[in-house]
Amino acid sequence: MNLTTQRRPICELSDDLISQIAAGEVVERPASVVRELVDNAVDAGARQITVRLQAGGVRLIAVEDDGFGIPRGELPVALRRHATSKIASLADLESVGTMGFRGEALAAICSISDMRVASRVLDSGHAWQLDGRTGELSAAARTTGTTVEVRELFYATPARRKFLKTDATELAHCIEAVRRQAMVRPDVGFAVWHDGKLVEQWHACTGLALQDQRLRHVLGSQFFEQSVAVDHTSAAIRDDGTPLIRVWGRAGLPDAARARADQQFAYVNGRFVRDKVIGHAARSAYQDVLHGHRQPVYALYVDIAPARVDVNVHPTKIEVRFRDSREVHSAVRHAVESALALPRSALQSSAGLPPAAAIIEHLGAFGALNRPVAQLTYAQAAPVFVANTNRGVSDVEAMWPRPQPQLQPPSSQPEVADALQTWRLGRAIAQLQGIYILAENAQGLVVVDMHAAHERVVYERLKAQMDTARIQSQPLLIPATFAASPLEVATAESACETLALLGLDITPFSSKTLAVRAVPTSLAHGDAVQLARSVLAELALHEASTVVQRAQNEILSTMACHGAVRANRSLTVDEMNALLRQMEATERSDQCNHGRPTWRQVSIKELDALFMRGR
Ligand X SMILES: Nc1ncnc2c1ncn2[C@@H]1O[C@H](COP(=O)(O)OP(=O)(O)O)[C@@H](O)[C@H]1O
CB hemisphere CA count around 306 (13 angstroms): 13
Q: Binding-site residue total for ligand X (CB under 6 A)?
A: 22
Q: How far is the CB of 83 from ligand X (least distance, A)?
A: 6
How near is the Cβ of 46 to ligand X at its closest, in Å? 7
- Does the footprint of ligand X cover residue 350 (CB under 6 A)? no
In angstroms, rounded to a whole number, what is the distance separating the alpha carbons of residues 283 and 290? 9
Partner whose footprint covers residue 44, from Mg ion, ligand X, none (CB < 5 to 8 Å by kind) = ligand X
Cα separation, 426 vs 584, in Å, equals 10
Point out the residue whose Cβ comes nearest to ligand X. 100
- Report the residue number, 107 or 300, with the smaller CB distance to Mg ion: 107
Among 56, 57, 67, 132, binds ligand X (CB under 6 A): 67
CA distances from 583 to 24, 476, 590, 594 (A): 56, 29, 8, 16
The backbone region for 165, taken as left when phi is positive above 0, alpha when psi lies in -120 to 50, beta otherwise, is beta
The H-or-E segment that residue 445 falls in is strand 444-449
Q: Is 427 in the site for ligand X (CB under 6 A)?
A: no
Q: Which is nearer to ligand X, 137 or 604 (CB)?
A: 137
DSSP code of residue 28: S
* Rounded alpha-carbon distances, angstroms, from residue 151 to 30, 119, 159: 10, 17, 17
Q: Is the CB of residue 327 less than 8 Å from the CB of residue 234?
A: yes
Q: Enumerate residues 6+ apart whose C-beta is below 8 A from 8.
A: none
Nearer CB in complex with ligand X: 80/294:
80
Q: Please report whether residue 105 would count as binding ligand X according to CB under 6 A.
A: yes
Closest to Mg ion by CB, 101 vs 248, is 101
Alpha carbon distance 613, 57 (integer Å)? 52
Give whichever of 49 and 268 is closer to ligand X, judged by the CB atom: 49
Q: Which residue is nearest to Mg ion (CB)?
A: 100
- What gap in Å lies between CA 375 and CA 381, rounded to an integer? 10
SS3 592: coil
H/E/C letters for each residue in 464-523?
HHHHHCCCCEEEEEEEEEEECCHHHHHHHHHCHHHHHHCCCEEEEEECCEEEEEEEEHHH
Q: For ligand X, which stretch binds (CB under 6 A), given 65-73, 264-272, 474-482, 513-521?
A: 65-73
Q: Which does 104 bind (CB under 5 to 8 A by kind): Mg ion, ligand X, none?
A: ligand X
Within its chain, how far is the Cα of 93 from the centroid?
Answer: 30
> Which one of residues 62, 78, 300, 305 is an interface residue with ligand X (CB under 6 A)?
78
Give 39 or 200: the residue with its C-beta nearer to Mg ion.
39
| Distance set, CA 535 to CA 342, 529, 557 (Å) | 29, 10, 10
Alpha helices (runs of H) in 547-588, residue ranges in sequence order: 549-563, 573-585
Binding partner of residue 101 among ligand X, Mg ion, none, CB cut-off 5 to 8 Å per kind: ligand X
- CA torsion sign, 105 to 111 to 114 to 120? positive
Find the length of the chain.
Answer: 615
Q: How far is the CB of 173 from ligand X (least distance, A)?
A: 19
Nearest approach, Cβ of 93 to ligand X (angstroms)?
Answer: 11
Please, what is the minimum distance in Å from the beta carbon of residue 100 to Mg ion? 3
Q: Which is nearer to Mg ion, 38 or 576 (CB)?
A: 38
Per CB under 6 A, the list member of 24, 47, 54, 86 interacting with ligand X is 86
Given ligand X, Mg ion, none, residue 146, with its beta carbon under 5 to 8 Å by kind, binds ligand X
Of 113 and 481, the one with the shorter C-beta distance to Mg ion is: 113
The interface region with ligand X, picked from 96-104, 128-136, 165-173, 371-379 by CB under 6 A, is 96-104
Burial of 152 (0-12, 13-18, 19+ CB in 10 A): middle
Q: Distance (Å, rounded) from C-alpha 88 to C-alpha 129?
A: 26
Part in contact with ligand X (CB under 6 A); list of ranges 63-71, 173-181, 359-367, 499-507: 63-71
Amino acid identity of residue 582, one-letter, is Q
Q: Between 15 and 324, whose beta carbon lies closer to ligand X?
A: 15
- Out of 58, 70, 399, 565, the only residue in the binding site for ligand X (CB under 6 A) is 70
98-106, 272-280, 419-427, 564-572 -> range binding ligand X (CB under 6 A)? 98-106
Binding site residues, Mg ion, CB under 5 A: 40, 100, 105
Query: Residue from 65, 337, 440, 455 that binds ligand X (CB under 6 A)?
Result: 65
**65 contact, one of ligand X, Mg ion, none, CB 5-8 Å limit per kind:** ligand X
**138 to 167, contacts with ligand X by CB under 6 A?**
146
Do the Cβ atoms of 600 and 345 come closer than 8 Å?
A: no
Nearer to Mg ion (CB atom), residue 63 or residue 583: 63
Enumerate residues 20-59 that contact ligand X by CB under 6 A: 36, 40-41, 44
Q: Which residues contact 582 (CB under 8 A, 6 or more apart)?
A: 401, 457, 589
Q: How far is the CB of 69 from ligand X (least distance, A)?
A: 6
Torsion of CA 335, 341, 345, 346, to 10 degrees: 140
Task: Name which of 533, 425, 524, 423 is nearest 483 in CA terms.
Answer: 533
Among Mg ion, ligand X, none, residue 85 binds (CB under 5-8 Å by kind): ligand X
Question: In the complex, what is the shortest distance from the CB of residue 307 to ligand X, in angstroms, rounded to a whole number?
Answer: 20
| Binding region for ligand X (CB under 6 A) | 36, 40-41, 44, 65, 67, 69-70, 78, 83-86, 100-107, 146
